[in-house]
């Protein structure tokens, strides 16, 4: 685990590099597996590869291209992270949440997190979108562990309103206007990289989870601690283990995410336009 002084130094260097290379934005979107089409519809874009940002590792997962894009979406300047860092790739928790810390340093006020998730709720179908109303952290770790800098927020942050109620209402309104089915539910975060067993999915269903995935929760915790407005949307790319009589694969996750990109991009564009 990095000491606090090293973490702060890395965050400042990352923020300085981004500020020098990209126009500033007050809204950021983190794009999950297979959900990169939003980046293609952005206007007036400037691209900064992760390889050119100090301390940003290169993503190793299909569907995560590894670049930060500044562009216009719905007439507003947005940062789009095309690729994220996962704990299962071998990164420590501080690296997983590094983009969130950097965004706060840059003055970004609103974050939209997206992910590909497995459907635990039996009423869901692959290709649908789910608005995250709450989460269950079963990763086995908390990204706030270790020394805390008071500039990040409370040492013991309240998590009741992690997912901003006003932004959730806005997302539902936009989805209704666009005729897009937007489910609502609880996202459960696990470490991965193995998919869950059928027994684990039955357990998660009993615990109240509607979808399961391997990201988002650490970023949500860090962003909320720092007082950022947070919205999160899952693309249900497959039904979780044991729901259907077929094996799971990341290729299926990626392919279904690509199929859902049109609705996803339209929804996010509409939300950003109205923020």
Question: Which of these is catalytic: 82, 115, 121, 215?
Answer: 215
Question: Which of these is catalytic: 28, 39, 116, 220?
Answer: 116
What pairs with residue 76 in β-bridges? 73
The DSSP element (H or E) to which 29 belongs, if any, is strand 27-31
Query: Given the structure tokens 């979808």, which residue do they identify?
Result: 211
Question: Which of these is catalytic: 232, 238, 239, 240?
Answer: 238
Question: Which of these is catalytic: 15, 214, 220, 223?
Answer: 214
Q: Residue 238 catalytic? A: yes
DSSP E strand stretches across 83-209: 110-119, 129-137, 182-189
Question: Which of these is catalytic: 33, 70, 121, 265?
Answer: 33
What pairs with residue 249 in β-bridges? none
218-236: burial string, b at 16+ Cβ within 10 Å, e else: bbbbbbbbbebbbbbbbbb
Question: Which of these is catalytic: 19, 148, 159, 250?
Answer: 250
Helices 217-225 and 98-105 meet at what angle, rounded to 10? 30
Question: Which of these is catalytic: 55, 86, 135, 224?
Answer: 86
Q: Residue 215 catalytic? A: yes
Q: Residue 250 catalytic? A: yes
Question: Which of these is catalytic: 25, 28, 89, 241?
Answer: 89
Q: Residue 125 catalytic? A: no
Q: Residue 214 catalytic? A: yes
Residue 164: HSE in the Cβ half-sphere, 13 Å Cα cutoff: 19
Q: Yes or no: say if 267 and 173 are a contact pair by the CB < 8 Å rule.
A: no
CA 163 to chain centre: 12
Residue 91 CB burial class (10 angstroms; 0-12, 13-18, ≥19)? middle
Question: Which of these is catalytic: 19, 41, 65, 88?
Answer: 88
> What is the separation, in whole angstroms, between the first and last Cα of the chain?
37
Q: Residue 224 catalytic? A: no
Question: Which of these is catalytic: 64, 135, 224, 263?
Answer: 64
Q: Residue 135 catalytic? A: no
The residues annotated as belonging to the active site are 33, 64, 86, 88-89, 116, 214-215, 238, 250
């Amino acid at each position: 685990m990095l000491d606090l002084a090293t973490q702060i130094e890395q965050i400042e260097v990352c923020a300085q590099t981004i500020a020098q290379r990209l126009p500033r934005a007050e809204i950021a979107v983190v794009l999950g597996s297979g959900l990169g089409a939003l980046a293609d519809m952005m206007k007036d874009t400037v691209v900064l590869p992760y390889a050119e940002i100090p301390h940003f590792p290169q993503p190793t997962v299909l569907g995560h291209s590894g670049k930060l894009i500044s562009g216009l979406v719905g007439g507003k300047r947005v940062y789009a992270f095309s690729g994220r860092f996962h704990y299962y790739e071998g990164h420590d928790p501080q690296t997983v949440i590094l983009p969130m810390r950097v965004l706060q340093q840059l003055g970004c006020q609103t974050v939209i997190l997206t992910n590909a998730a497995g459907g635990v709720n039996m009423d869901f179908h692959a290709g649908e979108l789910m608005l995250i109303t709450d989460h269950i952290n079963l990763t086995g770790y908390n990204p706030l562990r270790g020394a805390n800098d008071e500039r990040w927020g409370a040492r013991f942050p309240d998590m009741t309103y992690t997912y901003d109620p006003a932004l959730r209402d806005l997302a539902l309104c936009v989805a209704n206007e666009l005729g897009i089915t937007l489910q609502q539910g609880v996202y459960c975060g696990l470490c991965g990289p193995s998919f869950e067993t059928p027994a684990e999915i039955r357990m998660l269903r009993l615990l109240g989870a509607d979808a399961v995935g391997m990201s988002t929760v650490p970023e949500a915790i860090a962003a909320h601690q720092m007082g950022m407005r947070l919205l999160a949307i899952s693309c249900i790319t497959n039904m979780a283990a044991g729901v259907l009589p077929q094996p799971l694969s990341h290729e299926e996750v990626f392919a279904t995410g690509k199929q859902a990109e049109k609705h996803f991009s339209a929804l996010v564009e509409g939300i950003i336009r109205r923020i």
